[in-house]
Amino acid sequence: MCGVLVLTLPQLVGTTIDTTRLVGYGLGLLSAVLAAGAMIQVRRLGTTESPGAIALYFVLVSALVSLFTLPTGWVAPSVGTLVMLVLAGLVGGLAHIAMTLSYRYAEASTLAQFEYLSLIWAGVLDLTVFHIGLSPWFILAVPLLLTGAAVSTGMVGEQLQRLARRRRGRLPHAERPARKRAA
């Protein structure tokens, strides 16, 4: 959570408060809550439905809900934009199937940490595709986000426990290094 605060607090502190930015942060927070609910629901559905069926349900529900935005002024895309949208949809569909499969084999609380990696990918795309520089706040937040993800998945705790056992000389047999034989 510290990484998220490092990203957002500099924008919130100041003499004027940008209501548009506040609405964006609020919608981002709402998105996180709804995504958590969706992760849990996908985990439950994964026990009875195939990944392809879950992805299809997601597409159908999303399409129906997005129809409510029609009055806000949809624009017909150009051919190039339409091709990019179709490609984005196909790649997103494959990603959704992969996500659904991952929830079949792992707990939602473990997989949720990988969502933080999307921020890093966004930064990489900003640099390489859009040629937008990264803010110092983003560069400061990335190590915090990665540390938080590692701690919450238990990776850091496991490593610290293994190190403590090694120091005490009580390594389980599977973790002991192989002994070298004398020639």
Among 110, 145, 118, smallest CA distance to 40 is for 110
Q: What letter does residue 23 receive in the DSSP assignment? A: H
Helices and strands, counts by H and E, the chain? 8, 0
Greater pLDDT, 152 or 174: 152
Checking if the pLDDT of 151 tops 60, the result is: yes
Reported as a pLDDT band with limits 50, 70 and 90, residue 172 is low
Dihedral (CA of 34, 86, 64, 74) sign = positive
**Helix segments in 77-183, DSSP class H:** 79-105, 108-111, 117-128, 136-153, 155-168
Reported as a pLDDT band with limits 50, 70 and 90, residue 71 is confident
Of the given ranges (21-30, 103-112, 156-165), which has the lowest mean pLDDT?
Answer: 156-165
How far, in Å, CA of 165 to CA of 20, rounded?
A: 52
Reported as a pLDDT band with limits 50, 70 and 90, residue 20 is confident
Q: What letter does residue 150 receive in the DSSP assignment? A: H
How far, in Å, CA of 126 to CA of 75, rounded?
A: 25
